[in-house]
Structures are given as structure tokens and as C-alpha cells.
């Protein structure tokens, strides 16, 4: 990683030198030099952005990193890949084959959901459908899908906190 950062800094120095070398030609009004200077300026900006990302470890321009997000923004109630494997109920070629215990835990977590909440939850998290697609499929409003997902998330969170079967890893 340090080698990559060093190489980007060297590239940035070379671009700065080329940018300054074209300054005199561009000031005279040479259109070709002006276009080339503009292109090099854009390249400098991109390289600066990459250098900042490599130095800070976060995307430049973001005000808050993921570690400073609110708990509800960074919390995942279930691993999405496991949920997809659970819904697909197949073991052949799955990137995440579930054990019987993991299947039991997922079933236990979702046992308190109503039929509609479970449909929405499985379609959204297990089959990666958008809220609009789920609404069209179930012939309900998109806001209803959101509320079903919100209540399902709350119920699953509650189950994770209170169930003995879900606390064991």
C-alpha cells in the first residue's frame, strides 16, 4: 500500500511539473497547450483524490466515515448472503452453504413475523427485490412494504436480543 501511495505521489509531482511547463504556452493563447493543460489539471485532481483516499482510508468528501454513522445506519440484522442462501434453500453452488443450525437460527428469528412481513422480508433481503418491485408483486403500496420491512426488522432485532437460540454463535 505504501508503494502505491509513493507512486501516486511521484505521478502527482510529474503532473505538476507538466502543468507548470505548459503555463507559458497557455498564457500566450495557444489553444492546443490550453487544452493539454486543462487535461493535465483534471488528471492532477484525480490523482490528488486517490492520494487523499489512500492516506485517510476513507472516501474524500465524505463528512462522516462508516465508523461514525448512527447505529441504525450501520447495523445489519442478518448477513445478506446467508439470507439469500436461506431463501433459495439450495446447497449446490451456493457461495454460503448453511448448516442445519444456521437454518434453524434464521427460522427462529423469523418465526414471529406475520405472513406479509415474512414475504416482504424474504423478497427484499433474500431475493434482492426493490421496494417498488415488491409492491408491484404483492399488489400493495410501496409505503406498506416499507412499514412491513420496518416492523420485521424490529421483531427480528427483538428476537436476537431475547432468544437463547440466537445468542449462541
Among 147, 111, 74, 107, which Cα is nearest to 134's? 147
In the numeric block, the cell 490528488 is attached to: 48
The pLDDT tens digits of the residues spanning 93-137 come to 555 566 777 777 778 878 888 889 988 888 888 888 888 888 988
Within 57-99, residue ranges assigned H as helices are 71-74, 80-88
Q: What is the pTM of this model?
A: 0.46
Q: How far apart are CA 5 and CA 53, in angstroms?
A: 10
> What per-residue confidence (pLDDT) applies to 169?
47
- List pLDDT tens digits, range 50-103: 888 888 777 777 666 655 655 555 555 556 666 666 666 655 455 556 677 777
Cβ atoms 120, 152 nearer than 8 A: yes
User: What cell does 139 get?
Assistant: 399488489
Amino acid at each position: 500500500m505504501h508503494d502505491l501511495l509513493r507512486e501516486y505521489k511521484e505521478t502527482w509531482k510529474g503532473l505538476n511539473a507538466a502543468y507548470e511547463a505548459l503555463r507559458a504556452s497557455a498564457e500566450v493563447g495557444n489553444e492546443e497547450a490550453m487544452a493539454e493543460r486543462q487535461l493535465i489539471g483534471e488528471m492532477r485532481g484525480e490523482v490528488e483524490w486517490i492520494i487523499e483516499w489512500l492516506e485517510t482510508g476513507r472516501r474524500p468528501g465524505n463528512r462522516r466515515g462508516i465508523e461514525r454513522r448512527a447505529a441504525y445506519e450501520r447495523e445489519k440484522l442478518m448477513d445478506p448472503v446467508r439470507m439469500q442462501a436461506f431463501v433459495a434453500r439450495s446447497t449446490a453452488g451456493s457461495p454460503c452453504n448453511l448448516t442445519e443450525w444456521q437454518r434453524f437460527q434464521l427460522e427462529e428469528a423469523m418465526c414471529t413475523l406475520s405472513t406479509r412481513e415474512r414475504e416482504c422480508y424474504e423478497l427484499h433481503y433474500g431475493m434482492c427485490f426493490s421496494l417498488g418491485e415488491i409492491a408491484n408483486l404483492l399488489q400493495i403500496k410501496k409505503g406498506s412494504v416499507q412499514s412491513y420491512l420496518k416492523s420485521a426488522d424490529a421483531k427480528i432485532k427483538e428476537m436476537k436480543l431475547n432468544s437463547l437460540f440466537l445468542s449462541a454463535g
